[in-house]
Amino acid sequence: MKNLFNSSNKYIIIYSSNIDSKYRKSGKYVKHRKFTDWIDKYMSEKWKLKKYIPNKYPTYSKFNGSKTYSNFYIYELIDN
């Protein structure tokens, strides 16, 4: 996350889940993390959440019936 935020001087766009959870799917473990807590703790002095865009198709099943827990989070650097 530090590398991500240090790599921009205007916007950061994150497409991800934002929950703390771990589950097993098809023999593989998937671990979701609530990344906004980390941003609030370490980056809130420099970055603000500009826009949250919920996923329009959280249960889109055209290809394989899979779900996505991801949404868009757009952060903007705060001008000093």
- Read off the pLDDT of residues 34-47 as tens digits, 9 standing for 90 and up: 999 999 999 999 99
String of b and e for 49-60 (b: at least 16 CB within 10 Å)? eeeeeeeeeeee
> Ramachandran region of residue 77, left (φ > 0), alpha (ψ -120 to 50) or beta?
beta
Domain map (residue ranges) of the chain: 2-77
- Read off the pLDDT of residues 17-28 as tens digits, 9 standing for 90 and up: 998 887 766 667
**pLDDT of residue 50 exceeding 80:** yes
What number of other Cβ atoms are within 10 A of residue 73's Cβ? 19
Rounded Cα distance between 45 and 54, Å, is 25
Residues 68-72: what's their mean pLDDT? 86
**pLDDT of residue 64 exceeding 80:** no
3-state secondary structure of 37: helix
